[in-house]
Amino acid sequence: MKKYLVTAVAGLLALAPAIAHADTPPTAVKISTPSPFPAGCDHKDPVGTNYPNAEVQPDIAVDPRNPSHMVSAFQTDRWQGVGGHGLITAATFDGGRTWTYATPPAVSTCSGGAFDRATDTQVSIAPNGMVFLTSLSMNTTTPHGDHALLVVKSGDGGRSWGTPTTITREGTGDTDNIWNDLPTVYTTGKDVYVAWDRINLDDGTGPIYLAHSGDGGTTWGEPRKVVDFGVGKGASGVRLASVQGKLVAFFAYYEPIPGTADYATSWRSITSADLGETWSAPAVAGQAKSVGTKEPGGKNVRDGHDVFGQLAAGPHGELRAVWQGSQFAGDHDGAVMATSTDAGATWSAPVPVGSSPAKQFMPAVAVNSDGVVGVTYYQLDSTGTSYWQATSATGTSWHTTKLSGPFDITAAPVVNDGSYYVGDYHGMAAAGTCFVSVFAKTNSGQPDNRTDVFFTVS
């Protein structure tokens, strides 16, 4: 096995251009293809604008025992309101040289499923190569109504997908006031977890729910409420990692500010030492201070601020968490990071990532096999929007590299509130000593193909 790992890492390193270490950006490779879904495949009257071939919000996972094996997933044909016609997956077994596109998982009507739309996908790969994918699938055009959280698994590395398993389905009848949002999937082997926030639309309560499989996704326990914060309080954007033999959940926490219509938000973590059965009290990683992102014309970019942070475990028992915040930049947001060395029980004081005066948004994080931390993010300045990576061996001194761009964010799909949208998050992971990422990038002058998904390795 050790010899195989060395060979796999060597193959991946061959893909990382030598110029990546000389302040010249590595090549971003397009991995999305034209949508396989015809217009009207959901057999519903359209509500709002559909953006054909617009791929957004990609994620990526790396096989922990074979870093040349990776799987990416993203939604396509994005709707103005919520979701897309379906989910697309791409798998590589040679470090990104070539990609295999499976028949889309049956999480939407357009791919043979039972729901009109799909969104919020994430992927995770077990040490045996089993791949898990989650989807928020819905028969509604707004976050209210019939919807389900689905898990699909692949036993051949992402070349094909099995029948979806329903983790929970609510939003009608006596659960008309419930919306299960922003699922994440994470596996350590036989243990597979799906976590999300279950929103009560009447009072704004958003406790964290968890479903656990102890047999590699064959059977699932009943979803359980693992943290309840009280009326009007809740969590968003749960992310999972394992470190020091413990499972850690990282999330945005919100609570109403008395006497106002506003909310106070912070980044917090909880820890479980018994496979998610019981959890610690929340620990604060940092305050959520952000102003959001606007393009030069004054319109908003939907960037996931105060909703999505990202979490990664390192080889020395460390956790790195990143989010978008203005506490160091003042009048605009930048990427912010905090570190824990005790499985999320306590966190260091947050630090800025890099030193650019430009607007930074939607950061993601990974830690490679040497313990080097990498953060990818979008950056918006007078030249347009570009995609960057910052790396640090210490977590305080950073080397930054532009990976792609600039491009025009105003060519992106527009969502209901008028914001430009390439996703609320993007995917990043470590592959041995390398970093890999997937992100959505706009295509100017192509109204029927506004965005594509690109892959980088460095």
Residue 47: predicted pLDDT: 84
Domain count, the chain: 1
Chain-centre distance for alpha carbon 47: 26
Contact 223, 167 (CB under 8 A): yes
**To which residue do tokens 């897309």 refer?**
84
In terms of Cα–Cα distance, which of 181, 88, 20, 104 is closest to 438? 88
Residue 45: predicted pLDDT: 73
Contacts of 454 (CB under 8 A, 6+ apart): 28, 29, 30, 31, 32, 404, 438, 439, 440, 441
Residue 53: predicted pLDDT: 98
Strand partners, 293: 301
Residue 210 sits in a domain of what CATH number? 2.120.10.10
Low-confidence ranges of the chain (pLDDT < 50): 1-10, 13, 17-24
Helix (H) or strand (E) holding 159: none
Phi, then psi, of 367 in degrees rounded to 5:
-125, 125
Return d(Cα 147, Cα 117) in angstroms, integer.
9
Residue 12: predicted pLDDT: 53
Residue 355: predicted pLDDT: 72
In terms of Cα–Cα distance, which of 163, 114, 168, 164 is closest to 139? 114
Residue 338: predicted pLDDT: 98
In terms of Cα–Cα distance, which of 267, 270, 300, 272 is closest to 284? 267
Residue 86: predicted pLDDT: 98
**To which residue do tokens 């990974």 refer?**
366
* Structure confidence by residue, pLDDT tens digits, 121-131: 999 999 999 99
In terms of Cα–Cα distance, which of 455, 456, 448, 453 is closest to 77? 448
- Identify the domain containing residue 421 by its residue range: 2-457
**To which residue do tokens 């640090």 refer?**
392
**To which residue do tokens 């994430």 refer?**
122
Residue 21: predicted pLDDT: 36
Strands 165-170 and 178-187: unpaired
